[in-house]
């Protein structure tokens, strides 16, 4: 402190009360600043199996506590967030979802199918890529018709299997993504075989048919076009997503506050 004092001319020029104000402000700032922690999953994605010890993190950040609420670096969520709020504040991209849903709407499909197309990849755009169909289905299960979540779960497997009669061929994009020799995992093959015999197979297949990357580069797609369909087909909980005590609530909370310590 003495050293700092003698070398800092700016400090010299300040009055005692100015310095006290500055110190207080600095302290307040540090008290507000919490330690944001990363879940193991974030490290796994960088090829590391690791978790920083809580006590050593505290020692490195004297006087600070762990973040247990909203991460100030992320857009703040409203108190009772809706699906639309998540679209706008937590989904990294919605263009693909809007394009799929627009395609389904123009093809004259029913609202359940349009909603399924609109939500089919929410796992990817907001949460976790791996097994995105399963995560996505689970996130919305309490709020949609069972057929919608079932179809979203199954589209992941069905995407790998052509159905010429339905007008669906193996995606060119998948050849580019995974190479020409890629074979889906056995559990995906088994899931496809089960889905094939299911009464809602057609709905899951319709997601695949409308699962396109760009149907018209000039088409204007807007979430506003789907607000009414969401309103009629997605049972928005009055407490807000995350606060409604369903088997999906913790997933929405995790998206809201992904860096909470516990
Ligand atoms: Fe998908
Ligand atoms: Fe997709």
Is the distance from CB of 75 to CB of 89 less than 8 angstroms? Answer: yes
State pLDDT tens for residues 91-103: 999 999 999 999 9
Long-range CB contacts for residues 215-218, cutoff 8 Å, separation at least 24: 215/99, 215/102, 215/103
CA of 209 to the centre of ligand 2 (A): 10
CA of 202 to the centre of ligand 2 (A): 16
CA of 50 to the centre of ligand 2 (A): 32
Q: What is the mean pLDDT of residues 2-22?
A: 58
CA of 157 to the centre of ligand 2 (A): 12
Give Cβ neighbours of residue 141 (< 8 Å, ≥ 6 apart). 149, 247, 248
Q: Which ligand is nearest to the CA of 135?
A: 1
Q: Which ligand is nearest to the CA of 103?
A: 2
pLDDT band at 15 (very low <50, low <70, confident <90, very high): confident
Is the distance from CB of 223 to CB of 84 less than 8 angstroms? Answer: yes
Is the distance from CB of 157 to CB of 195 less than 8 angstroms? Answer: yes
Model pTM? 0.86
pLDDT score, position 9: 44
State pLDDT tens for residues 76-86: 999 999 999 99
Print burial letters for 179-202: b (CB count within 10 Å at least 16), e (below 16): eeeeebeeebeebbeebeeeebbe
* DSSP designation for 167: T
CA of 133 to the centre of ligand 1 (A): 6
First vs last Cα of the chain: how many Å apart? 36
Q: In 10 A of CB 125, how many CB atoms?
A: 19
CA of 12 to the centre of ligand 1 (A): 62
Give Cβ neighbours of residue 47 (< 8 Å, ≥ 6 apart). none
């Amino acid at each position: 402190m003495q050293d700092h004092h003698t070398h800092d001319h700016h400090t010299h020029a300040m009055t005692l009360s100015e310095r006290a104000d500055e110190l207080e402000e600095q302290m307040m700032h540090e008290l507000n600043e919490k330690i944001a922690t990363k879940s193991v999953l974030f490290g796994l994605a960088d090829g590391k199996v690791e978790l920083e010890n809580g006590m050593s993190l505290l020692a490195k950040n004297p006087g600070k506590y762990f973040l247990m609420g909203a991460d100030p670096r992320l857009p703040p969520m409203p108190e009772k967030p809706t699906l639309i709020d998540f679209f706008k504040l937590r989904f990294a991209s919605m263009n693909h979802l809007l394009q799929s849903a627009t395609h389904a709407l123009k093809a004259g499909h029913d609202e359940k199918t349009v909603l399924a197309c609109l939500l089919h990849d929410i796992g990817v755009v907001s949460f976790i890529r791996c097994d995105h169909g399963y995560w996505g289905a689970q996130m919305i299960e309490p709020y949609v018709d069972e057929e919608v979540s079932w179809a979203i779960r199954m589209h992941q497997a069905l995407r790998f299997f052509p159905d010429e009669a339905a007008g669906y061929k193996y995606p060119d994009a998948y050849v580019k993504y995974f190479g020409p020799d890629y074979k889906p995992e056995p559990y995906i093959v088994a899931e496809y075989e089960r889905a094939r015999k299911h009464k809602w197979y057609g709905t899951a297949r319709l997601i695949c048919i409308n699962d396109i990357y760009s149907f018209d580069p000039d088409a204007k797609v807007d979430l506003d076009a789907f607000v009414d369909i969401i309103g009629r087909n997605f049972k928005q909980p009055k407490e807000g997503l995350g606060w409604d005590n369903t088997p999906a609530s913790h997933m929405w909370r995790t998206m809201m506050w992904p860096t909470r310590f516990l």
